[in-house]
Structure 1
Amino acid sequence: MSQSLIVFEALAAKGIALSKSQLLRLERVGKFPTRVTISHTRVAWIESEIDQWIAARIAARRQLVAA
């Protein structure tokens, strides 16, 4: 099973315009997928987990609108 990684710079293309420090804060409290260490200076995220996170936020918004 192949999994794609997405680096910080590519998150903006998915509509995620958060700073590195804000992403780290969200990760620590379990509100954003956990990063994968590529090297001692580079991290990435599993693209499918990012897509699931986006889908969950869209679903949550739809529930608020329907309520």
Structure 2
Amino acid sequence: MRLIKLKEVLHMTGLSRATVYRFMAAGGFPMKVELGGNSVAWVESEVEDWINEKILKRDASDTAA
């Protein structure tokens, strides 16, 4: 298991910081892990799963059209 910082999450997803936090608040993005102090990270596999879900939804809608 690997924890990744916000900069890498943003790079992987192409989202902005505000969008990541907005999606988290709405329950549509993996939650951050509090590391202590002001430091947070995300579980890399959870972010990858989120990306894969987006790809699967895209592919499903492509085949339905």
Give % identity: 32
TM-score scaled by structure 2? 0.86
Residues paired across the two proteins, number: 63
**Are 1:5 and 2:6 counterparts?**
no
Would you identify which runs of 4 or more consecutive aligned residues in structure 1 move more than 3 Å? none
Unpaired stretches in structure 1, ≥5 consecutive residues: none
Provide the alpha-carbon RMSD of the alignment: 1.1
More helix by share: 2
Matched residue of 1:54: which SS? helix
Matched residue of 1:53: which SS? helix
2:20 aligns with 23
1:28 CA displacement: 1.0
**Are 1:32 and 2:25 counterparts?**
no
